Amino acid sequence: MAGAEQQRLDLDDDDPQARAVEATAHWIMRAREITGASAARLPVPAVRFDLRGRAAGQAILSRRRGDCAIRINAALLASHPREMLAETVPHEVAHVVIHRLCGRRAKPHGAEWKALMRAFGVEPAPCHTLPAEPTRRLTRHRYRCRCDEPAWLTSIRHKRAQAGTTYLCRQCGETLVAAPEAG
């Protein structure tokens, strides 16, 4: 991002969500200038701050209605506003723009997306490098088979196994059986 644009978008970090909405509109305007697309073809997408976990952002690309949205991880935005505004917002806007202009034939981080990111002046990296902790930790349940070592299933797979799904050991191929709880 150019220095003046960077300062304009980052001056007031008191409300990073408002800055993210502004930055989204800014990058859509830049995309219109770069591609020559109209406002009707590239409307400003809705911005939601409901993304959790390790992902910094996500572009929601509607196939039927044509409306798109951008989801931003509010926790990462609050802790790393400059990086999120400088990297994540243009990253997700580029996904929306390429989807609207090229449709499904364009790969998510393909040549078109990379070219637009470079035109934005942002390094086209497919993933962020911000420190992010998972929002939940899955409990692991002990299972046994012929092997000496126990197998471990997450709580999701454990519930499925309790409901009748069969899981096989990757080593010996035997059906995994829930081990008694150590107590």
Q: How far is CA 63 from the centre of its chain?
A: 18
Which residue is catalytic, options 33, 92, 149, 174?
92
Strand order in the sheet with 151-154: 151-154, 140-144, 177-178
Taking phi over 0 as left and psi of -120 to 50 as alpha, with beta for the rest, 36 belongs to left
| CA separation for the pair 112, 125 (Å, rounded) | 13
| CA separation for the pair 96, 98 (Å, rounded) | 6
Nearest to 84 by CA among 129, 149, 139: 129
Whether residue 123 lies in the annotated active site:
no
Positions annotated as catalytic residues are: 92
